[in-house]
Amino acid sequence: EVQLVQSATEVKKSGESLRISCKGSGYSFTSYWIGWVRQMPGKGLEWMGIIYPADSHTIYSPSFQGHVTISADKSISTAYLQWSSLRASDTAMYYCAKSLTSGWAYGMDVWGQGTTVTVSS
């Protein structure tokens, strides 16, 4: 079974750093892109960026560039989303998702269960 399993809920304070993870299994991790999507409380989905684990080529949404870092460790089939200095406005649910094909523009067919991040000021 193809699945993405995300790390557990995080509760942090403003200014702290954080890295959340997304582990893929049941497929060739290096053959598909992994994207990250944010959903703030009561709001819609926002596309943050995407990474190709085979070579770590990464594309960011302009809205998130410079504030988050997307990375991957292909040796353990895991992608990461990290912050060096959290803000209260980073409080949200974060999903990772796998691309439908080896091209990343077509759609995301498998999603992680989501990681809740709560940042207090």
Partner 1 sequence: QSALTQPASVSGSPGQSITISCAGTSSDVGGYNYVSWYQHHPGKAPKLMIYEVSNRPSGVSNRFSGSKSGNTASLTISGLQAEDEADYYCNSYTSSSTQVFGSGTKVTVL
Closest separation between CB of residue 115 and partner 1, Å? 11
Structure tokens given for 6: 């995300």
Q: Which stretch binds partner 1 (CB under 8 A): 19-27, 54-62, 68-76, 81-89?
A: 54-62
Our measurement of the distance from residue 66's CA atom to the centroid of its chain's CA atoms, rounded to an integer in Å, reads 15
Give me the 70-99 binding string for partner 1, x by CB under 8 A, dash otherwise: -------------------------x-x--
Between CA 106 and CA 10 the distance in angstroms is: 31
Q: 56: closest CA among 36, 25, 34, 37?
A: 34
E strands present in 1-121: 3-6, 10-13, 18-25, 34-39, 45-52, 57-60, 69-73, 78-83, 92-99, 108-111, 115-120
- 46 part of the interface to partner 1, by CB under 8 A: yes
- 105 part of the interface to partner 1, by CB under 8 A: yes
Closest separation between CB of residue 106 and partner 1, Å? 5
Among 17, 56, 63, 120, binds partner 1 (CB under 8 A): 63
- 24 part of the interface to partner 1, by CB under 8 A: no
DSSP 84: S
Chain residues that interact with partner 1, rule: CB under 8 A: 35, 37, 44-47, 49-50, 59-63, 95, 97, 100, 105-109, 111-114
